[in-house]
Amino acid sequence: MMKEPRVAVVTGGVAGIGRALTERLASDGFAIAVADKSDPSSLVEALHSQGVKAFGQICDVSSPDDVRAFAEATLGRFGHVDVLVMNAGIYPVSAFVDMTWAEWDRVFSINVDQLFHFTKAFLPGMLDRKWGRIVCISSTTFHAGVPMQSHYVASKGAVIGFARALAAEVGESGITVNTIAPGLVRTENTAAGTQSGLFDALAAQQAIKRTEEPADLVGPLSFLVSEDAAFITGQTLIVDGGWVRT
């Protein structure tokens, strides 16, 4: 009898970094569930064509109701979730003196509140099975400090703090909680956004002098969700070509 694959949930998995992470998990043998503000049907169809068990649903990751509906659908389909990758996020640019509370709150509602909603939904099952991998996507901007993004940088610091604290709570239950902190990654969104002019300047400051791509993050994720990383938890893995050196 064939063993059922482990199941991985990825938020923001339709495009950019999230899509690369999703495709790597699929190639590693995981069944996939994607929550994204964009329609994931084309991604799911592509995974199905490769023989991957996959499910996707449009989901506002800041909405308790949307996340609850996604979790119910995912658990109804797969029965359990073993890996949770919280990647969805926004990165607006604004000087603090011009920033409104609504702008600040929106960043935190997406970048931070999803940690509560998704972990609440899937951690109990991991605790029951005494195994789980939770990976949060943060940013090296928290370590470096960058202007014009105080809301974003603060939210990514919160991501790291959450992972460290939760790791201390669930380690005895076979669950690891870690963070990956990328630098500026070239995606369709960043290439078209306000960061587009920063690629070359940032690469010049890195030890590895090229622009980071989504593919640079898939190996670290694959390792952190594997059995080989069973004794690693509460850590932040900086993947930025040596821009931040700690």
Catalytic site residues? 152
Q: What are phi and psi of 62, to 5 degrees?
A: -90, -5
Do residues 143 and 157 lie in contact, with contact meaning Cβ atoms separated by under 8 Å? Answer: no
Do residues 37 and 58 lie in contact, with contact meaning Cβ atoms separated by under 8 Å? Answer: yes
Using a 10 angstrom Cβ sphere, with 0-12 exposed, 13-18 middle and 19 or more buried, the burial of residue 94 is middle
Alpha helices, H only, the chain? 16-27, 41-49, 64-78, 101-111, 113-129, 141-144, 150-170, 188-192, 199-205, 218-224
Residue type, 101: W
**Integer Cα distance of 185 and 59 in angstroms:** 24
Strand pairing report for 175-182 and 236-239: parallel
